[in-house]
Amino acid sequence: MWTLDELYKLKDSKNLAITNSTDKLTFKELWDKSDILANYIIKNTKEKSTVMIYGDKEIEFLISMIASLKAGRSYSPMNISFPIHRVKKIIQVLQSDLVINLSEEEITGEFKELKLIELKDIIKAENSTPIDSTSWVGEEDTAYIIFTSGSTGEPKGVPITKKNIETFTHWFKEYCILESGNYSVLDQAPYSFDLSVIALYVYLPLGAKLVAIDKATSSNLLQLFKEVKEADLNIWISTPSMIELCCYDNSFNSDLLPNLKKLIFIGEVLTKKLSKELKKRFKDIDIINGYGPTEATCGISACYIDDEMINAKDSLPIGKPGEGIEFFIEKGSKFIDKDRELGELVCVGDSVSKGYYKNSYLSDKVFFKAENGKMAYRTGDIVYKINDTYYFKQRKDFQVKLNGFRIELDDITNNLNKIEYIDNSITLPAYEDGKITHLVSYVTLNDKTDLKGLKLTIDIKKKLKEKIQSYMVPKKIIVKESFPLNTNGKIDRNRLLEELN
């Protein structure tokens, strides 16, 4: 099932493909407008180049992604939470010659910037020249490049091919299908987050209506509930954190969404407490716990959560590996096969990326070719298995999930250390009930500032916001005279963690 083939079959359909707070688009309009834009992209970009798309949940974002695929170009989706400084760096890395800028920010540079107003003007044309399918992104071509937080302080690009996507969708579709064949699907995850792949590449080709929820609405429960109620959702896709936020309001239940049939989660730990709560609020609902990294397209294992799992001693499982994917547990330099023994999860299969974009140094650390010739990826996740069902235990490094967002703590630290008056720093997670609630950065200062207290914190946060995504900016900044050191002479992370939690 490939999105473009399926969208072709729907090209005369007047059914809605996507709605957002202000706009809507039918499948026919999506097909025609993406043809027009694809012609423009072919004319204005080099073959096999990457189109950068910067925006939120505009319907033009969807048109731009489909148009890039039709033009045989990959796209790199960038949410407005990425600061312009970071976006510009990424454009440089990608050497994009076209940036589709749907935001109100300026992004100037040595590339063509296509603003929303100009884009609207282009795609309002009545006639479109169809793009022959031979021009579309091919099996082994990169379809998109998602950038994820990197421990060096620079984000790393994960190129995903059409084949990677097809491997994922072919398997994951089994969790997504409804007998009725009618789909009103939540499209809330930013397009720069791999979770959005389910809406775009599994549901859209099934003829679903995507209910796009922008950044502002995502944090305004009243508006969010209004929009999802009007859309009469059947499928909910989000991180557990997102739905947990909705559960703060008692009206979030089957009275609000009477036709909701499935809750699909991927991206972070799903707790028993939350699953129980959701089962209470939505009777006869399917809860799917998916697991997977951006580096392997989206999901690589999944399972339905049942009462037996909720009542068991272990945490909720992340399921069995999907079709086309194999799991191995690595301990030291050996693969282990004993139940309950902990080790790092290595996944092998056709949904695994070929490696980070133009970064062989980082790629060589975690990607390799397995004996069967397929790509393998060391996930950094410590897991165990019981009867071939896998359980997530913890990370082996300093990557965390905060409100569902993937963050390398050293990405923050490295950017803090670039501030002229910061001598050294470390960023740590603060926990409540075993869940990360916020981030705290400890800093030591040199003599290049007289700022103190609140003024200092505001200045640091402002400087950080220019470099990293807003959700990565730590909530608290604590100034230290000096750091406790461990026996290796490094900052004693564990001691500070104990102090904090």
Estimate the share of the chain in helix, then strand, then coil, as percent rounded to the nearest 5.
Answer: 35, 30, 40
Q: At closest approach, how far in Å is the CB of 148 from ligand AMP?
A: 6
Contact window for ligand AMP (CB under 6 A) among 122-130, 264-272, 408-416, 475-483:
264-272
Beta strands 98-101 and 301-304 are unpaired
Q: Is residue 287 a contact point for ligand AMP (CB under 6 A)?
A: no
| Backbone phi and psi for residue 290, each to the nearest 5 degrees, phi listed first | -95, 155
Q: Residue 60 or residue 381: which is nearer to ligand AMP going by CB? A: 381
Q: At closest approach, how far in Å is the CB of 321 from ligand AMP?
A: 13
Q: At closest approach, how far in Å is the CB of 471 from ligand AMP?
A: 12
Show the 3-state SS of 124-149.
CCCCCCCCCHHHCCCCCCEEEEEEEC
Q: At closest approach, how far in Å is the CB of 175 from ligand AMP?
A: 13
Contact window for ligand AMP (CB under 6 A) among 45-53, 73-81, 106-114, 289-297:
289-297
Q: Considering only residues 411-440, where is the footprint of ligand AMP by CB under 6 A?
A: none
Q: At closest approach, how far in Å is the CB of 289 from ligand AMP?
A: 5
Q: Residue 175 or residue 483: which is nearer to ligand AMP going by CB? A: 175
Q: At closest approach, how far in Å is the CB of 317 from ligand AMP?
A: 9
List the structure tokens of 177: 């299908």
Q: Considering only residues 134-173, where is the footprint of ligand AMP by CB under 6 A?
A: 148
Count CB-CB contacts under 10 A for residue 140. Answer: 10
Q: Residue 25 or residue 318: which is nearer to ligand AMP going by CB? A: 318
Find the helix or strand (DSSP H, E) in which 54 lies: strand 50-55
Q: Considering only residues 28-47, where is the footprint of ligand AMP by CB under 6 A?
A: none
Q: At closest approach, how far in Å is the CB of 492 from ligand AMP?
A: 25
Contact 211, 228 (CB under 8 A): yes
Q: Considering only residues 350-389, where is the footprint of ligand AMP by CB under 6 A?
A: 379, 381
Q: Which residues pair with 428 in a beta bridge?
A: 440
Q: Is residue 392 a contact point for ligand AMP (CB under 6 A)?
A: yes
Binds ligand AMP by CB under 6 A, chosen from 293, 321, 343, 349: 293
Q: Is residue 201 a contact point for ligand AMP (CB under 6 A)?
A: no
Binds ligand AMP by CB under 6 A, chosen from 60, 187, 268, 411: 268
Q: Is residue 318 a contact point for ligand AMP (CB under 6 A)?
A: yes
Contact 53, 62 (CB under 8 A): no
Q: At closest approach, how far in Å is the CB of 266 from ligand AMP?
A: 5
Q: Residue 113 or residue 277: which is nearer to ligand AMP going by CB? A: 277
Residue whose tokens read 């609140």: 454
Binds ligand AMP by CB under 6 A, chosen from 199, 269, 309, 428: 269
Binds ligand AMP by CB under 6 A, chosen from 55, 159, 190, 267: 267
Where do the DSSP E strands lie in 56-132?
A: 74-79, 98-101, 112-115
Q: Residue 149 or residue 414: which is nearer to ligand AMP going by CB? A: 149
Q: Is residue 188 a contact point for ligand AMP (CB under 6 A)?
A: no
Q: At closest approach, how far in Å is the CB of 295 from ligand AMP?
A: 7
Total chain residues near ligand AMP (CB under 6 A): 18
The torsion of the CA quartet 54, 60, 64, 70, rounded to 10 degrees, works out to 170
Q: Residue 291 or residue 398: which is nearer to ligand AMP going by CB? A: 291
Count CB-CB contacts under 10 A for residue 348. Answer: 24
Give CA angle at 362 (100, 465), nearest 5°: 50
**Range 282-306 burial, b when 16+ CB lie within 10 A, else e:** beebbbbbbbbbbbbbbbbbbbebe
Q: Is residue 194 a contact point for ligand AMP (CB under 6 A)?
A: yes
Residue 318 makes CB contacts below 8 A (sequence gap 6+) with: 289, 290, 291, 301, 302, 303, 383, 390, 391, 392
Among the listed residues 113, 110, 137, the one whose alpha carbon sits nearest the alpha carbon of residue 48 = 137
Q: At closest approach, how far in Å is the CB of 354 from ligand AMP?
A: 16
Binding mask 212-251 for ligand AMP (x = CB under 6 A): ----------------------------------------
What Å distances lie between residue 465 and 105, 204, 223, 238, 456, CA to CA?
Answer: 15, 34, 26, 25, 14
Residue 186 makes CB contacts below 8 A (sequence gap 6+) with: 199, 211, 213, 228, 233, 235, 236, 237, 238
Q: Considering only residues 396-415, where is the footprint of ligand AMP by CB under 6 A?
A: 401, 406
Q: At closest approach, how far in Å is the CB of 352 from ligand AMP?
A: 13
Contact window for ligand AMP (CB under 6 A) among 114-122, 287-295, 360-368, 464-472:
287-295
Binds ligand AMP by CB under 6 A, chosen from 291, 377, 384, 398: 291
Among the listed residues 400, 473, 484, the one whose alpha carbon sits nearest the alpha carbon of residue 493 = 484
How far apart (Å, rounded) are the C-alpha atoms in residues 352 and 168?
9
| Backbone phi and psi for residue 222, each to the nearest 5 degrees, phi listed first | -60, -50
Q: At closest approach, how far in Å is the CB of 224 from ligand AMP?
A: 22
Distance of CA 408 to the CA centre of its chain: 14
Half-sphere exposure of 379 (CA within 13 A, CB side): 31
Binds ligand AMP by CB under 6 A, chosen from 76, 289, 297, 469: 289
Binding site for ligand AMP (CB under 6 A): 148, 194, 266-270, 289, 291, 293-294, 318, 379, 381, 392, 395, 401, 406
